[in-house]
Amino acid sequence: MRLELGKIKIRDVAFGSQTKVEAGTLYVNKDELAALVLEDPTIKSCTVHLAKPGQEVRIIPVKDVIEPRCKVSGPGGIFPGFVSKVDTVGSGRTHVLSGAAVVTTGKIVGFQEGIIDMTGPGADYTPFSKTCNVVLDMDPVDGLGKREHEKAVRLAGLKAAVYLGEAGKDVEPDEIETYDQGSFLETAAKYPDLPKVVYIYMLQSQGLLHDTWVYGIDAKRTLPSIIHPNELFDGAIVSGNCVSACDKNTTFHHLNNPVVKQLFKHHGQDICFLGVVITNENVTLQDKERSSSYASKLAKMLGADAAIVSEEGFGNPDADLIMNCNKLESYGIKTVLLTDEYAGRDGASQSLADISPKADAVVSAGNANEIIQLPPMKTVIGDLAVADIIAGGFDGSKAADGSLTVELQVITGATNELGYSNLRGIGF
């Protein structure tokens, strides 16, 4: 499969009478966008805001972040199974409004939602303080259940991202990235002397608002599967969960998975990148054993010499992470784990809920329990009152002046386990 990503660099966002891209600015017809969202009868109200880098703006509680994209050529469309029909995606040409994002907020759905500050110390911990954000502040109709509420705002965000992405369909991209990968046999034969690497992509799927969707199917209903890495770039995987904001993979993260991009970058140079195995994160021991056995088996069948495994979430999924590691290593597959830590506010507690001597190559994305002080902002989009109840907040987090004392856990993307964050480790 060969996919071209045409990157259209968005440097500013503004309201306008027509939704369009012109000279690096995304103009948004806010009435038209709000009307699109309100086509869903379960959404009572929708206000469209803009939040730009450097502004004194706080968005809370953040539900999802989505990058606007549109399909220019090739089969299928963006977000198959939701906005587009269920065709296999990942080939042809897709245009990306790089530097823009849709952010969804409004009445809280689940306590594990987040914060994006566009300036100040909190902005240093989230990549979305650097994007030009179109924020949808939505409230559901009275009496709507939590699952229906999450579904409504999830679909609204996806529809908005496609609506904005279409504005770039006929715009000449600033740059084009090309991703081309053939069959496993062709790929392995092309680089016989390079170590063969498989990426094991763990998807949050514990239920109770902890879900991820693959071609419109809840990942907890599937067995581990092989997916072409290009499919991610067209939205085959969509976030639908309310796990802690710091290590949640938003839809933006799935669209821009940095592990996949780095594996492509090194492919043919010092590794042979075979492909991606997606696997779920389960609740019961039986399901954990089944999925970890199946995922490691697929890696072995593909002929992997090494594997990279990324987690989503913490606590219960740590067991899935370690099971994946143990079973891959038992096949002789050298394994690297990507995770974050919940090591207590002083960093002295055990970082993961499970451990193994075979987990001897681990990359940490940071300690989510670290305390941070967030100053008040001139503008709050959403509802600041939930700061005391979202994960990482606590009774007394919010001061009278609007400043917050919270854990990094509340900041969207702060310790993202794909490495899509601003925290960095330095080796000596």
User: Mind giving me the DSSP string for 43-109?
Assistant: EEEEEEEEE-TTSSEEEEEE-EEE--EEEEESSS-SSBTTTB-S---S-EEEEEEETEEEEEEES-S
Cα–Cα distance for residue pair 81/238, rounded to 1 Å: 10
Cα–Cα distance for residue pair 287/320, rounded to 1 Å: 10
Instruction: Confirm whether 242 is a catalytic residue.
Output: yes
The beta strands (E) that lie in 342-408 are given as 362-367, 371-374, 379-382, 404-407
Q: Residue 296 corresponds to which amino acid?
A: S
> In three state form, how does the secondary structure of 195-218 look?
CEEEEEEEEECCCCCEEEEECCEE
Cα–Cα distance for residue pair 288/307, rounded to 1 Å: 19
Please pick, among 46, 70, 242, 272, the residue that the annotation labels catalytic.
242
Sequence-distant (6+) residues with CB within 8 A of 301 are none
| Coil, helix or strand at residue 408 | helix
Dig out the tokens for 115 from the structure.
Answer: 């914060």
Residue whose tokens read 């919940």: 342
DSSP-derived secondary structure letter, 402: S
The residues assigned a catalytic role are 242
